[in-house]
């Protein structure tokens, strides 16, 4: 259920996947109930200049209840997603490190706004669109 805040005009209660141009793979994997993006393990933050794009690659905080059969046979236990934010309008980044566990929030206001925060890391960006550029799984060895 979504509603619109009278004060900000933003849609409230919206799932992050509703802001993606191509949510089908995530919706199919999580049977339309994707996990929220709190406490994700960040693996990569990258910028592309040719077509201004931000890419965030991170582990989703929950494994699906009914994963694809291939993932079961491979004994995968972690889902990783790469989200791309194209038509990048602005970006702000402070702090960084090798072990980042962040809360990621997406909002839609004149495009897609992304914010990722943790005690030693903060990223905020505005883009025209957001999409899944990769969805995979692996066996987490640590």
Residue 109, pLDDT score:
76
Q: What is the mean pLDDT of residues 130-136?
A: 97
Residue 13, pLDDT score:
57
CA neighbor of 139 nearest in space, from 39, 63, 81, 40:
63
Cα gap 92→90, rounded to integer Å: 7
Q: What would the pLDDT profile of 5-55 be if each residue is shown by its tens digit?
A: 343 344 445 789 999 999 999 999 999 899 999 999 999 999 999 999 999
Q: What is the mean pLDDT of residues 85-101?
A: 94
Cα gap 81→137, rounded to integer Å: 9
Residue 142, pLDDT score:
64
Residue 67 has pLDDT above 90, yes or no: yes
pLDDT over 90 percentage in the chain? 82
CB-count burial class (<10 Å; 0-12, 13-18, 19+) for 27: middle
Residue 92 has pLDDT above 90, yes or no: yes
The tokens for 7 are: 């004060």
Alpha helices in the chain (DSSP H): 24-29, 69-73
CA neighbor of 106 nearest in space, from 88, 86, 124, 79:
124
Q: What is the pTM of this model?
A: 0.88
Residue 78 has pLDDT above 50, yes or no: yes
Q: What is the mean pLDDT of residues 109-125?
A: 94
CA 78 from centre of chain: 15
């Amino acid at each position: 259920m979504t509603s619109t805040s009278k004060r900000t005009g933003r849609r409230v209660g919206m799932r992050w996947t509703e802001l993606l141009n191509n949510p089908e793979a995530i919706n199919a994997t999580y049977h339309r109930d994707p996990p929220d993006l709190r406490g994700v393990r960040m693996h990569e933050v990258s910028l592309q200049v040719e077509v201004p794009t931000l890419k965030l690659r991170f582990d989703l905080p929950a494994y699906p209840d009914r994963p694809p059969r291939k993932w079961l046979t491979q004994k995968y236990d972690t889902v990783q997603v790469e989200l791309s934010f194209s038509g990048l309008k602005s970006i702000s980044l402070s702090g960084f490190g090798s072990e980042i566990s962040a809360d990621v929030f997406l909002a839609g206001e004149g495009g897609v706004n992304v914010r990722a925060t943790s005690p030693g890391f903060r990223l905020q960006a505005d883009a025209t669109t957001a999409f899944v550029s990769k969805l995979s799984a692996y066996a987490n060895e640590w």
